Structure 1
Amino acid sequence: MDFILSVLSGAIGGLIILVFQKAWEFKDAKDQELKEQEAARQKLIISHDIHKRPVESKIVEHLLPGTSIEKMKRLLGVPDFTTYGKIFTEVSENPMDTNTYLYEFGNAHLLLTSQDGVSTDSVTISTKFDKDYPVEFIFPYLLEKDSAALGSMKLEKHLIDYVEKAEVNKTMRDAYFCIETYFGRAGRYHYYTFFGQDSDKVAEYFKDPDLKHLVNGSINSYCISGLSNFAPYISPFW
Structure 2
Amino acid sequence: MKKLALAPLLLALALLLTACGVGGAVASRLVQGNLDAIYFGEPGEDYFELVNATPEDIEETYQQGMEVEAQTFAYYYSVDYLPDDLLAEIADMYKQIYQSAKYEVGTASELSDGSYAVPVTVYPLNILELVNERGAEYTEAYNAQFTDGQIASMTEEEYMEYDAGWARTIVQCCLDCIPDMDYMEPESLVIQVAQDSDGYWRMNEDDFAAFDAAVIYYP
TM-score interval for Structure 1 and Structure 2 normalised by the shorter chain:
under 0.3
The structure showing larger relative contact order (alpha-carbon pairs under 8 Å, at least 6 residues apart) is 2
Q: What is the TM-score with the length of structure 1 in the denominator?
A: 0.21
Q: What is the TM-score with the length of structure 2 in the denominator?
A: 0.22
- Give the structure with the larger helix fraction: 2
